[in-house]
Structure formats: C-alpha cells, structure tokens
Amino acid sequence: MAERAEELRRARDVASRLRRIVDSALGAGRTRTAQGRDIDEHQPHTERLAYLATETLAVETLLDYAEAAGERDPLATGEAIVFTGQVAGRARAQIGDALETFGLEQAELDKTLDATEARAFIRGALDDRRIEAIGARVVEWRGTPDCYLEGELERMTREAVRDFARAEVAPIAQHIHLDDELVPEAIIAKMAELGFFGLAVPVEYGGQGMGNLAMILTTEELSAASLAAAGSLITRPEILTKALLGGGSDEQKRTWLPRLAAGQIMAAISVTEPDTGSDVASVKVRAERTAQGGREGWLISGAKAWCTFAGRADVIAMLCRTDPDLAKGAKGLSLFIVPKERFPGHQFVMRQEGGGVIEGKADRTPGYRGMHSYTLQIERYFVAGENLVGGEGRGFYLQMNGFAAGRLQTGGRATGLAQAALEAAAHYANERSQFGQPIGRYGLTRYKLGRMAVEIAAARQLTYHAARVFDREEGRAVEPSMAKLFACDVAVRTTQEAQLLHGGWGFAEEFPICRYVVDALVLPIFEGVKPVLELKVIGRALLS
C-alpha cells in the first residue's frame, strides 16, 4: 500500500516535470508560429507538439484515475507508472535530439526529464518484468478488470449495455461484416427501446440527459461487440443532437430531438464531397431559395461523398452552400435536415413529386461494414424552409460543434474496439500452444499484452476526462479531439498487435480479430483525418 503510494508519488513528480517541459515547448511553439498564425510554415513541429501535449494529458488523466481507483483496479497503478515512463522517456529523447527545434535549452531538460531522479523513474517504469507482470494478469484474466467507476448509475449503465451487446450484437457482428449486410432493424429497435439514442439528449426533449460519460460507456460496450453495427449507430444522432442544441430554434428542437432520442428517426451526416474533405469551408453543394406548392424552401443540388447510413437514414444532416460567393468560405454554409425514405440496399434512388432526386451508391470498403457509406448525387431536391438549422450562414459553426461531440464519441468507439482486440488476443494466448506450452506463457507475449493494456487504459481515461470536460463546456473542441487522436492510434496499434498474436489465424476472415483490424483502420480517417486534426484543431488550439 505504502509502496504503491510512493510509486505513484514519483510518477506524479515525473508527470509534472513532463508538463513543465511540454508547456515550455508550447510557449516556444507559440512564438515560432506567431501565436498559431504560421502553423502551416511549421507543420511537422506543430504535429509533434500536438501529439506530445495529447500524451501528456493522457498521462495526467491516467495518474488521476490510478490515485482514485486505488486497489479497486488491481492493474491501475502499474499501468499508470508504465505509461508515465513511456511518454516521459520518449519525450526526453525526442526533445533532447532536437532542442533547437523545440526552442529549448539543455538546462531545461536537465532540470526536468534529464534529472537523475526522473531518469531513474523512467528506467524502473519501463522494466520488462513490470510490463510482463501486467501482461501475465491479462492472460490469466483473459482481459483486464473493469475500470473503476465512482457513480452507481455509470456502473449500471456499463453492465446493462454490455449484457445487451454480448447477447444481441456480438453473435451477428461477424455475419454482418462478412456479408456486408446492413445492421438489422431488430438491433436498431432494441437500442431505441433501451434509450441508447437519447443518452445525451436533455430530458425536456425526451432523452435520458445522462451526460457524456454515460454516452461513452455505452459506446465502448457497443463498439466492443461491433464498431459499425452498434457502436457507430449512436454517432450520427449524437452529432445532429449537438448541432440542434447548439443552434436549432425551440421548434426545431421540439420537432427533432424527441424523435432522435427515441430512435424513431435515424440520421446520416453529409459534409464530405468528392473533391472536398478536410477543407470543409470549401463545401460546394448548393442550396437555393425556392417556393414549391406554396411552401418556402430550398433546392439542393450537387454531389456528396462518404455519407454513412444514407440509405437507411430517415434524415440527412447536410452542409450546403447557401451563399454562392465562394470567397465567403465557411460563412456561406448552412445546415439542413433533409428528410428521405428508408432504403435497405447498397444503392437507392429517392424521387420527390416535384422532380427532386437523391441517388446513392455505397462504396465498397474492407471494414466498417453494417451501415454502408454512400456517394450521393443530388438534383434539385426540395427541403422546406423550417429544416434550415440555426439560420443561414451558421452551418459550419454548428457542424463543428457536432463534430466535437462526434470525436468524443469516437474516443469511446476506439477504446471499445481496442479492448475487444485485447480480450481476443488474451483468449488466444491461453488456447494456442507452440513449442510445448501456451503462447501466453512466453515473456514476449506477456510484454506485448501488457503494453496494449497500458495504452488502452490511457486512451480510456483520456476519453472519460474529455467527456467530463464536455459536460462542463459544451462544444469544447480540444480534449475530445485529443481523445479521438490518441484512442484511434491505440486501436490501430492494438488490433494489429493482437492480430499478430493470432499468427496465420489472425488473417482468416472467420476470426473476429481480422474484422477488428480493418475496422480500426477507418478510425483515424473520419471526423477529421489524423494530420488535419493534429494541425488544425489541436495544434491551433494549443498554439494560438
């Protein structure tokens, strides 16, 4: 007990040294980039700083958790110590190798991460035996113990969702993936019944009003069963809900939120276009004022890309250009709720009486199957005036607000998927024997599993922290983006390491680990592709 407290105290000391040097590097980065205005002149360094700051926050949140959890999570202290050592050790080397680039002096490193006590801590933290010991527990327990949650409501939420995910989603997840099927209506109906679509919708609009941590816990459990056919189903209503709460009129909130919360309507989100991805301010799909059958409204025309779930969705939240002057950039964009009928297949044509058409064709993808992602051709599609959310010219701001919520939720998606991969690998390590013993008895297997468990714990606590921050300050972009950045990388690394532990069987499509790998690959791409998230969201927020 006393030993644990002492180790955590030393880890905390190193974490505060790390914080000091990272803050100095950020300060120098601000000067170098003229308070963020010249980020594009220094992209590699901005990326470096964004990642370092993200990992530093992850260290702090994991240490906070280990202190709070105590013995209630038997792995927490070890994980926090290893992760602190890992990030501090890498930061010391990275900064030490490029002091000038970081704008720092050797003396600052000497006082912080290069100090004798810091070096000793890092050496001890990264001792192979310590990491192997964590991995040995992972093998023995076929995963990691549930992380400690203070709130009873949160613990109950996690358990209830897990029961549902294991009983209803996990048994069909592999079939949906292999046959590229659409998620069955029965799953949507049960998720609606259990209130999963309204977790973060305020009670006055028919939701659960449970806040973002409950939403993350739900997401994690659903994503562990299936990223695409369960965990990601709540991303779209989450994004649209936040956009409506951020800028919808009272009438719009009363009209749409209860139906979204009840799962009566499914939403798709359509921002990306064939030629426009990260540069959202350049969206080209046009919406022009019109009147049809005595109704004021808009005619939408153009092409969209990668609109996930557009076939099944009842509404598409679509970002369109209402001001034809391209020079207006983001200020010329508006957000519409575009109603349509449901279509089950990989292709659909939605025709309106007045001649408007939306044609959708799903693009084939190696993973993230279950909702299909469509390219859309839209021709003079009529949308009533009351479906313009938040007024003309506010679409970009509302969409970004929605994306902040989406990124937070993706932190939960990635953590759930990584946890599933870890558990699959731990099971396999028990079952598979080579050279006369289960592969889980080998030191390297244990070491690898230990590293995975450490990184997942850090991704989880960073995401929970971001959820709590988001509860306090709706629309805050930086912590959710950090959670998304780090957790998605952890999911990619963990799934690939777990696949390797499966040897040749990891490459067999019948094994879920094969699905986990291809599903994870999409995580760093959407909702802000990784480099753009680092530069334009995290880097800009830290340096300006």
Binding of ligand FAD at residue 189 (CB under 6 A)? no
Binding of ligand FAD at residue 234 (CB under 6 A)? no
Biggest alpha carbon–alpha carbon distance for the chain = 80
150: how many CB neighbours lie within 10 A of its CB?
9
**Catalytic option among 7, 220, 527, 534:** 527
Measured from the CB atom, the residue of 43 and 290 that comes closer to ligand FAD is 43
Measured from the CB atom, the residue of 110 and 180 that comes closer to ligand FAD is 180
At residue 377, what are phi and psi to the nearest 5 degrees? -110, 125
> What is the CB-side half-sphere exposure of residue 51 using CA atoms within 13 A?
18
Measured from the CB atom, the residue of 121 and 396 that comes closer to ligand FAD is 396
CB of 158 to ligand FAD, least distance (A): 27
Terminal CA-CA length for the chain: 43
Residues 369-408 that bind ligand FAD (CB under 6 A): 373
Of 59-67, 244-252, 429-437, 519-527, the window that binds ligand FAD (rule: CB under 6 A) is: 519-527
CB of 40 to ligand FAD, least distance (A): 7
Residues 39-58 that bind ligand FAD (CB under 6 A): 43
CB closest to ligand FAD, residue no: 277
What's CA 15's distance to the chain center, in Å?
25
Task: Tell me the helix, strand and coil percentages in the chain, rounded to 5.
Answer: 65, 15, 25
CB of 402 to ligand FAD, least distance (A): 11
Query: Which of 201, 482, 522, 543 is the binder for ligand FAD (CB under 6 A)?
Result: 522
DSSP letter string over 355-369?
S-EEEEEEPP-SS--
Binding of ligand FAD at residue 337 (CB under 6 A)? no
Query: Which of 38, 433, 525, 544 is the binder for ligand FAD (CB under 6 A)?
Result: 525
The closest of 20, 14, 44 to 32, measured between CA atoms, is 44
Binding of ligand FAD at residue 417 (CB under 6 A)? no
Question: Rounded to an integer, what distance in angstroms lies between the CA atom of residue 544 and that of residue 542?
Answer: 6
Measured from the CB atom, the residue of 135 and 237 that comes closer to ligand FAD is 237
Binding of ligand FAD at residue 535 (CB under 6 A)? yes
Measured from the CB atom, the residue of 270 and 461 that comes closer to ligand FAD is 270
Beta strands in 281-435, from DSSP E residues, in sequence order? 286-292, 295-308, 315-321, 333-339, 347-351, 357-362, 373-384, 388-389, 433-434
Measured from the CB atom, the residue of 272 and 494 that comes closer to ligand FAD is 272
Binding of ligand FAD at residue 68 (CB under 6 A)? no
Measured from the CB atom, the residue of 157 and 270 that comes closer to ligand FAD is 270
Query: Which of 308, 322, 445, 461 is the binder for ligand FAD (CB under 6 A)?
Result: 308
The closest of 260, 228, 261, 257 to 245, measured between CA atoms, is 257
Measured from the CB atom, the residue of 224 and 535 that comes closer to ligand FAD is 535
Buried b (16+ CB within 10 A) or exposed e, 275-293: ebbeebeebebbbeebebe
Binding of ligand FAD at residue 317 (CB under 6 A)? no
**Which distant-in-sequence residues (6+ apart) come within 8 Å of 475 by Cβ?**
242, 246, 401, 404
Q: Are 411 and 468 in contact (CB under 8 A)?
A: no
CB of 31 to ligand FAD, least distance (A): 21
> CA–CA distance from 255 to each of 248, 251, 267 (Å)?
10, 6, 14
Alpha helices in 442-543 (DSSP H): 443-472, 478-501, 512-522, 530-532, 540-543
**Helix-then-strand count for the chain, H and E:** 19, 11
| Residues in a beta bridge with 487 | none
Binding of ligand FAD at residue 278 (CB under 6 A)? yes
Binding of ligand FAD at residue 307 (CB under 6 A)? yes
CB of 305 to ligand FAD, least distance (A): 7
CB of 543 to ligand FAD, least distance (A): 15
Alpha helices in 98-211 (DSSP H): 99-102, 106-111, 116-125, 128-141, 152-164, 170-178, 185-193
Of 97-105, 144-152, 175-183, 528-536, the window that binds ligand FAD (rule: CB under 6 A) is: 528-536
Binding of ligand FAD at residue 271 (CB under 6 A)? yes
Question: Rounded to an integer, what distance in angstroms lies between the CA atom of residue 376 and that of residue 350?
Answer: 11
The closest of 541, 512, 525 to 176, measured between CA atoms, is 512
Query: Which of 36, 70, 209, 277 is the binder for ligand FAD (CB under 6 A)?
Result: 277
CB of 526 to ligand FAD, least distance (A): 4
CB of 350 to ligand FAD, least distance (A): 17
Binding of ligand FAD at residue 306 (CB under 6 A)? yes
423: annotated active-site residue:
no
Residues 352-371 that bind ligand FAD (CB under 6 A): 365, 368
CB of 36 to ligand FAD, least distance (A): 14
Measured from the CB atom, the residue of 458 and 522 that comes closer to ligand FAD is 522
Question: Rounded to an integer, what distance in angstroms lies between the CA atom of residue 461 and that of residue 479?
Answer: 12
Active site residue ranges: 527
Binding site for ligand FAD (CB under 6 A): 43, 269-272, 277-278, 306-308, 365, 368, 373, 522, 525-527, 529, 531-532, 535
